[in-house]
A and B are shown apart, each in its own frame.
Chain A
Amino acid sequence: MVRVLQLKNVTKRFGKHTAVDQLTLTIPEGEMFGFLGANGAGKTTTFRMILNLLENTEGEIFWHGKKITYAQSNEIGYLPEERGLYPKLTVKDQLVYLAKLRGMAKADSVKALKSWLERFNITEYENKKVEELSKGNQQKIQFISAVLHNPRLLILDEPFSGLDPVNVEMLKKAVIELKQSGTSIIFSSHRMEHVEELCRFLCIMKHGKPVVEGDLTEIKRSFRKKNITISADYDLTFLSETAGVVKYQETQQGCKLQIASSEDAPVVWKLLTEKGFVNKFEVEEPTLNDIFIEKAGESYA
């Protein structure tokens, strides 16, 4: 595994406030890395340090083993959470200019942008001003501006917010293809199902420190708590007082439980069978949402 981007003990302080604290991360090549955390956990600050917008107080950031500088900016693509384009410029002028700033020749960028516009079914907007476009289409242009110059590292901050499901799928497909073509992607989102779907590696930040980091399957496996989905015809509320049950949530068919460890599952099963027939009893791995809520300590809708 080639480590394209490495952060070593990176710390960022603003006065007395520590935004990022001793962060050590490795982004593998051609993989998608989920970078999660509550608001204010230090995600944007970390991105800005990678992008050379902010100087890290301590530690070092390496790109292919060398310290990162503006010299690498041509190899990086960035889709910021706060979307930004020139409202008065046409789609084409805008994308060509932004690609030029990333070191791409004009002719190449025109060719690339045409194929991207085609891919996203928005060829008719090539010579329209960005302000005339719908929000969803602006978002697509923003995405194109991040990937047009074929970056080796792509930072996506909430890339799918504000898009309808059809467009989300379209962009997702594009992201997956970029990954397969060898682009390393840092993906930040509050939509856990997207992260689960796309990322093999991830890191959850809390107060500037990583609280969970590594391979998603291993993280799930090592997370002791499991979920049980039960559906039965009788009252299940008694389960909420059972030892080992951490969380109890009623559903239409029965309930959902979170148990402290997999050893508690047979105990619950035994209690149930004593009561009567069970339609459904399923022990599941925890979802990323569960892990996030547990580790980052804040809930997301």
Chain B
Amino acid sequence: MRKFWIVFSHTYLSRVKTKGYIISSAIFLLIICGIFYIPDIIERFTGEGEEPVVAVIDETENQQLYEALSSGAEDYQPILFDGNEDEAKQAVENEEYEGLLVLNQSEQNLPEAVFYGMQLTNSTSDDMEAQLQQIKVAQAASQAGVDEAAMQEIYAPVSFERQSLDKEAKTEEELAGSYGLVYILVFALYISVITYGMMIATDITNEKSSRVMEILISSSSPVSQMFAKILAIGMMGLTQLALIAVAVYVMVQIRGQELSGGFFDFIGIANASPVTLTFALIFFILGYFLYAIICAGLGSVVSRMEDVQQLVSPIIFLVMGAFFLAMYGLNAPDSTIIVVASYIPFFTPMIMFLRIGMLGVPSWEIALSIAILVATILLIAWISAKVYRGGVLMYGKGGSFNQLKEALKLSGNIKNKSK
């Protein structure tokens, strides 16, 4: 057991001390701090909150359309232009105005407008169109003899409330909160499994290709080394996650007050229930172990770095499959395919967590899926350990699945004693 911890601390420390790890952690932290300042940054780039000025030429009687427009203008500032259309266009080209709006009265005595702008990708014109639409509806209605009170009644939204009968179902607010959380955790799991799984496989192949493996396994049992590595790289991943979590917590403390609403409600971290977060951690750890153990077994049978990719790619596809299934499941968490997939151990960590986050899942279902997942992990750990013991002694040949069979055969020849 002592040697297990020696391998563990060596793998952990030598990884954590690498430049790559420090740099990637720093980038993560920067991004997180950056996210909390996004609204400020956006404001800065959009001219410090100044509303765009639009030149208006109103050809209607008494300039009534301009009056209506300017009284309800939001997010932009209409200004009556003194001069003809060509002069106005020239002014827009000179960037004196954001754009030019030419208002007119149609034959049916309804508003009409043409917008001239340097670019048509501008949200100001949408704002004006929406506002003009309202004016048009009001005018058309009054022409048809409908009074204002009736209009308001017509446009009032219908009263529609959603109430779930299932006690464990999420309330609307909870659902909105967990949507973002599920999204983030599914994504984190996906990235982690791919990065750390690959890291384990290459770490092992590295020791094989540099031939230091033979010395290592003559010093301590290969199986204990394999698990020490898996645990060490998992710990390293958790270290990074913990760093990120601390950063998020600190930033919420600093900026939380100023940033309520919008984007941050969507992420929903603030009101995520501790139960959901606990499940997130459980499924993250189980998911990591499942894929890490497979990668360790695969990494042990190849002896060249080029072959690692080839052998690990089916696993990556599996994780990608789970990821896309989870993306689909975010919008349809109770569909049959999602329910079925949540019991398939390769998908459970993402899909079952998604269901827990989005729906009320009975506890026996959660227990069953975790039981299947743990059983699968144990089974794969057993197979991987066998493959590993044989695999680390095998050299030559490309990375093919025949190698796995061969490694298993060779493993039968290897001592079972371990210490």
Contact = CB atoms under 8 A, between A and B. Distances in A.
Interface of A: 12, 14-15, 48, 51-55, 57, 69-71, 73, 76, 78, 80, 82-87, 89, 93, 97-98, 100-103, 145
B393 interface: yes
Question: Interface residues of A: mostly helix, strand, loop or mixed?
Answer: loop
B220 interface: yes
B418 interface: yes
Contacts of A102: 219
A85 B49 CA distance: 61
B320 to A, nearest CB: 30
Contacts of B414: 53-55
Interface string B1-32: 01100110010001000000000000000000
B417 interface: yes
B219 A101 contact: yes
Contact of A100 (B6, B211, B221): B6
Nearest to A73: B219
Given A70-B221, A101-B3, A80 B417 contact: no
A15 B409 CA distance: 9
Contacts of A15: 409
Interface residues of B, number: 29
Contacts of A70: 220-221, 415, 417-419
Contacts of B417: 52, 69-70
Given A76-B218, A86-B207, 16 more contacts: A15-B409, A48-B393, A51-B218, A52-B415, A53-B415, A55-B414, A57-B413, A69-B417, A70-B220, A70-B418, A73-B218, A80-B211, A84-B210, A84-B212, A86-B210, A101-B219
Contacts of B218: 51-53, 73, 76, 78
Contacts of B216: 98, 101
Contacts of B212: 84-86
A98 B216 CA distance: 7
Most chain A beta carbons < 10 A, residue from B211, B214, B409, B418: B214
B215 interface: yes
Contacts of B3: 101, 103
A26 to B, nearest CB: 21
Contacts of A100: 6, 10
B173 to A, nearest CB: 51
A155 B54 CA distance: 88
Contacts of B339: none
Nearest to B213: A84
A84 B419 contact: no
A73 B222 CA distance: 13
Interface in B374-396: 393
B241 to A, nearest CB: 26
A52, A80, A87, A97: which has the most chain B beta carbons within 10 Å?
A52
B416 interface: yes
A55 B213 contact: no
Nearest to B224: A70
A84 B419 CA distance: 24
